[in-house]
């Protein structure tokens, strides 16, 4: 039986994107700020994965 590791990294990126977009909508910002905050959320998700997620080194 082949053992496959579950890769949930895309969930972190999705949560970061949605959190950034929601923050932009909640603060009643313009469309440019909403997109910018979505990108910022993606960047924070990448930072979180690289720095804080344990066991990431074995998957690189």
What band does 39 get if pLDDT is binned at 50, 70 and 90? very high
pLDDT in tens, 3-13: 455 677 888 89
Question: What per-residue confidence (pLDDT) applies to 12?
Answer: 87
29-33: average pLDDT: 90
User: pLDDT at residue 54 above 70?
Assistant: no
- Residue 36 CB contacts under 8 Å (≥ 6 apart), including other chains: 24
The Cα 28–Cα 48 span in angstroms is 26
Q: How far apart are the first and last CA of the chain?
A: 23
* Helices 9-26/31-51 angle, 10° precision: 150
Higher-pLDDT residue of 56, 31: 31
Radius of gyration of the chain (CA): 15
Tokens of 15: 């949560």
């Amino acid at each position: 039986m082949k053992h496959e590791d579950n890769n949930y990294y895309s969930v972190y990126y999705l949560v970061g994107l949605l959190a950034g977009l929601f923050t932009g909508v909640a603060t009643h910002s313009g469309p440019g700020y909403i997109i910018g905050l979505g990108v910022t959320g993606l960047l924070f998700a990448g930072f979180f994965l690289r720095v804080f997620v344990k066991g990431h080194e074995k998957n690189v």
